[in-house]
Structure 1
């Protein structure tokens, strides 16, 4: 019904909004196909807000979907999935916003495919196949590089040429396999097993030059992912381009964005390594030169000291000290010997003074009878008795002819 309005009799906003809402409510439910561009789950709300984008034109429309319908999908709903929704147009007058109230949602085409891959990724991640602690580091310079690719492919050419340009002596062991189609996963697993059994292969590169999501499906095959997980040799995944990410990229030890990038990862650049060696040599030379300069300066400082400038001077000084000590010891010993000699002479003089021999040398004699007893009185001597007279230089043997008694004079004090 037309609304009569004019500049002098305008309609209020609420009236216009309500009329639009009433008109939209008269529209029936429709089936709409598009691509999910945004998913918003707000805590506490039983409604999930999404944006449905047209696959060709730059046009999008908001969706409101009951949470239970989203959770009941067989495969998780992800951004970028293609879907078909059965929805009724709705206009919210209070905010003047238009949306589609979804009653049913179905995954179709590529969207369904991406949803299955996402579900598979979540299951394998839950088993720990993509854990970071399982990733092995690549060898610095592999003895031989294994390459799994299609025969005569651009990926093979990129890997071989770029690797040999970086390190001319690098050796490759190429195992060809179909890189697209239903047989690709089985042939890639067979090629990986063949390279794994080669003891000379230190790293394996799986290379393919990109493609659509459908083309890269073999590299998200669960059996292939588990086979790569069981390998002992490090694996580099070079499947697709930077925006592509098959499950092989997640289970591989290293992901390369392109085959050219894989060649840069598996072998070092000989020119860069030579520059590093030259830089290391210069640093070592500088460090060693500095150390030698410091040690030479220390030696020069030691040699500049007087004691090391003329070592004989120190010896001469010590020799003078030793000579002085020797002279002092000589004087001390001589002094002590002189004192000892004087003591001996003194004791000898005293001993001689006390000796009977000294008395005999002054003219005295010792008279002994035949029995050797000293005669001290004439009373014990008989006439004609043999006697012995001891003088200073010998004995005189005689016979008494007689005796004469002499009165002893006693000394008196004073």
Structure 2
């Protein structure tokens, strides 16, 4: 190899690499990867008669990415399980770079189809992983609005699921509105389209709830709704999401991470949109029950008031007063009798005392023939004579007897 053919070690605008050098380096880098196992979904198979190479497009079910695969036609024809577009497979091979076309392809030597049992086992392992992370926790479930203004519907184009959801919802509440996103609901492009539709509806401020709807199908058909990326997107969404995938026995992982699981698309419409007639009937029933309850309460209170009014204290409020008035009158009469008796007794006692005082008084003594002699001292008050010395001769005397008084003069002591 000449100096001009050897790749240059330094690279700059003044010293660029030629295409052959870049191709050689890419070939060397890819060759270092060695043989690898790759999982994906077949989206295209091209086996031309008389050719020694079959071309296959292998797509990632969860992303819009694909890889060109080459193999011998016998590897496709002799597969134990028929390989068709949509089959989930595991391939073993080595990446190769073709400098002439500038393309990369995976040259495989072994293809293993993923059977139903393996798919179910993988779904079960993913279910256990998501459950361990708490993504099935009921506390994470967002409440479904009672009357959503706008419903986001993610479903297949012109599908029975779309007709069921829209017709049932509008029959229950004619004013309901929909923002419909038609996507692939099975196959290799389903997951990327579902993720895009959910992200767009979640970003729409007018959408109050999102319904994922699809009719029944096989395990392979419903496989996109058990994709890990889709499940995590449902959990991360801010808008409540209802999973209505398949029929009652079907249970993809989207049913577990969604905020509400519906058995069918029709059931989803019934659980998201209230029935206007049923709600009116319920309001009428509540109104009737409220009226009956109020009427019953009023009647009960009236009975209580009637019972209270019928009590003696309120029925005849003056009854006790009248009884007390009679008692007071009797007590007054008794008190009056006692007072009169006491007055009579005291009057009798006073009469006796008066008689005794009369008997002992000077008038009674005078009546028995005694007299009271008083000496008159001019203008001074007269005083009773108590000794003969008090009446010297010539002293003026006043002699009081029972029927009056006479004046006299003292002649001196009688000898």
Range of TM-score over shorter length: 0.5 to 0.7
Distance, in Å, in 2 between the alignment partners of 1:368 and 1:307 is 82
Q: Match for 1:109 among 102, 109, 114?
A: 114
Number of the residue aligned with 1:228: 234
Distance, in Å, in 1 between the alignment partners of 2:151 and 2:292 is 38
Distance, in Å, in 2 between the alignment partners of 1:249 and 1:382 is 154
Contact kept? 1:360, 1:392, Cα under 8 Å: no
In the TM superposition, residue 130 of structure 1 has moved relative to its aligned partner by 2.0
Number of the residue aligned with 1:48: none
Number of the residue aligned with 1:127: 133
Local SS of the residue matching 1:338 = helix
Distance, in Å, in 2 between the alignment partners of 1:206 and 1:393 is 145
Number of the residue aligned with 1:402: 411
State yes or no: 1:155 paired with 2:164: no
Task: Check 1:323–1:207 CA distance in 2 against 1; reply closer, same or farther (3 A cut).
Answer: closer
Distance, in Å, in 1 between the alignment partners of 2:151 and 2:394 is 146
Q: Match for 1:383 among 347, 370, 393?
A: 393
Contact kept? 2:151, 2:209, Cα under 8 Å: yes
Number of the residue aligned with 1:359: 361
Task: Check 1:376–1:326 CA distance in 2 against 1; reply closer, same or farther (3 A cut).
Answer: same
CA offset digits 1:258-282 (Å, max 9, x no partner)? 2112111212333344455555666
Q: Which moved more, 1:385-394 or 1:197-206?
A: 385-394
Task: Check 1:388–1:159 CA distance in 2 against 1; reply closer, same or farther (3 A cut).
Answer: farther
Number of the residue aligned with 1:255: 261
In the TM superposition, residue 325 of structure 1 has moved relative to its aligned partner by 3.4
In the TM superposition, residue 127 of structure 1 has moved relative to its aligned partner by 1.6
**Mapping of residues 151-300 of structure 1, within 5 Å:** 152-174=158-180, 179-180=185-186, 184-197=190-203, 201-277=207-283
Contact kept? 1:357, 1:392, Cα under 8 Å: no
Distance, in Å, in 1 between the alignment partners of 2:227 and 2:414 is 162
Distance, in Å, in 2 between the alignment partners of 1:176 and 1:360 is 146
- Unpaired runs of 5+ in structure 2? 1-87, 90-110
Distance, in Å, in 1 between the alignment partners of 2:255 and 2:179 is 21
Q: CA RMSD in A?
A: 4.9
Local SS of the residue matching 1:125 = helix
In the TM superposition, residue 229 of structure 1 has moved relative to its aligned partner by 1.8
Contact kept? 2:396, 2:410, Cα under 8 Å: no
In the TM superposition, residue 352 of structure 1 has moved relative to its aligned partner by 3.0
Task: Check 1:317–1:251 CA distance in 2 against 1; reply closer, same or farther (3 A cut).
Answer: closer
CA offset digits 1:307-342 (Å, max 9, x no partner)? 79xx67x968974x4564355334323322322332
CA offset digits 1:103-159 (Å, max 9, x no partner)? xxx963333444433332222222221234544554444444333335554433321
Distance, in Å, in 1 between the alignment partners of 2:337 and 2:232 is 107
Task: Check 1:381–1:154 CA distance in 2 against 1; reply closer, same or farther (3 A cut).
Answer: same
Distance, in Å, in 2 between the alignment partners of 1:150 and 1:237 is 14
Local SS of the residue matching 2:242 = strand
In the TM superposition, residue 256 of structure 1 has moved relative to its aligned partner by 1.9
Distance, in Å, in 2 between the alignment partners of 1:403 and 1:275 is 141
**TM-score normalised according to structure 2 size:** 0.54
Aligned length: 300
- Unpaired runs of 5+ in structure 1? 1-81, 84-105, 407-414
Local SS of the residue matching 1:339 = helix
